[in-house]
Amino acid sequence: MSTNPPPERPEIDAIVEMIIYLYTESRRLTKGMASGFGLTGPQLTILKLLESFQDLSLSTLSERIRAQNSTVTGIVDRMEREGLVRRERSKSDRRVVHIRLSDKGARLAREIQVEPMEIFRGALLSLSPTDLRDLLRILTKLQKQVLLRVGQGGAKKGDGCDT
């Protein structure tokens, strides 16, 4: 049985290349910025998330950075040893542990003014509201199609935290 190659679609190749570029650039910026402060890329991401949201449960943090709980636990363990974060049990549900910035972590987060997410947010602000809605709609469709192809669990297996 012979399979026919897919028809040439240069616009699809161009889109895939742009997605890969944006992903690679994001990782490069995060890694470079983080290393300048003695952090890893995932540590910087967690630091900035906690700066924005004050505290997050481990599972919410894992969801936000698209990583498994076990991966985030290791990152948070190292950050806690370095005095950047602290764990606190929820008063309403003792099973939930919140991750919060320590004073040292909050100072460091404030010191790091620009992060890759902010660069992308700034670039997105240059788009019209209509373009933003269209982009979100299209990216959501793309995400659903990717999830169908890799399976819901497959999207989280790669921890995405090796930046």
For residues 50-79, average pLDDT: 91
pLDDT at 105 over 70: yes
Q: What is the pLDDT of residue 85?
A: 97
10-157 classified as CATH 3.90.1150.10: no
Q: What is the pLDDT of residue 153?
A: 52
First-residue to last-residue Cα distance in the chain:
42
Report the C-alpha gap between 144 and 26 in whole angstroms: 22
Q: At what angle do helices 10-35 and 41-53 cross, to 10 degrees?
A: 80
Q: What is the pLDDT of residue 54?
A: 84
pLDDT at 74 over 90: yes
